[in-house]
Amino acid sequence: MTGLVALLAVVTTFAMSSSDAGRDRADRRLQAGVEKFALRYQQREWWAPALELCRKAHENDPTNVEVLRNLALCYGGSGDAQRFEQCTQLALRLDTEQLRRGPPRPGTHRSLARTYRVIGDEDRKVAHLNQALKVGRR
């Protein structure tokens, strides 16, 4: 029985990796798993493994603002204020660029609000949440 399961795993892996779509799907699932475990470690304040996984997620997707925010939180939790600042500023820049490209989208304002929450800027967080509501009603 164990041999059959192993054979099935090998055949499935080969089938998935034999096409571009299969490889892309496998890469996305791996990335999602890395991010999921990073969040779990982060919630437990286990900064070293969370930081390692967030760095890996950032390497795989360097313009993902959610990953940048999580990386910033890990740096902040581990006491690295300089890298915390670098990550949050990059996240703000990416979302601000997205706003400039337009059209305004509620999701971009919500993303900015989440970044301002991480930074601790309550006023800007609320302002972007209000903008998200306003844009969403149009």
Q: Has residue 70 been placed in a domain?
A: yes
Q: What is the mean pLDDT of the chain?
A: 87
pLDDT at 47: 92
What is the share, in percent, of the chain residues with pLDDT greater than 90?
Answer: 63
Domain count, the chain: 1
Compute the distance between CA of residue 54 and CA of residue 40 in angstroms, rounded to an integer: 11
Count other Cβ atoms within 10 Å, centred on residue 21.
Answer: 9
pLDDT at 32: 80
> pTM, whole model, 2 decimals?
0.77
What does the pLDDT average to over 89-117? 95
Confidence of residue 15 (pLDDT cuts 50, 70, 90): low
21-67 pLDDT, tens digit per residue, is 777 787 778 778 778 888 898 889 999 999 999 999 999 999 999 99
CATH number at 48 reads 1.25.40.10
Domain enclosing residue 57, as ranges: 34-101
Q: Is the pLDDT of residue 8 over 60?
A: no
Q: Has residue 46 been placed in a domain?
A: yes
Q: Has residue 44 been placed in a domain?
A: yes
Q: Has residue 119 been placed in a domain?
A: no
Assign residue 102 a region (left: φ > 0; alpha: ψ between -120 and 50; beta: otherwise): left
Compute the distance between CA of residue 132 and CA of residue 108 in angstroms, rounded to an integer: 8
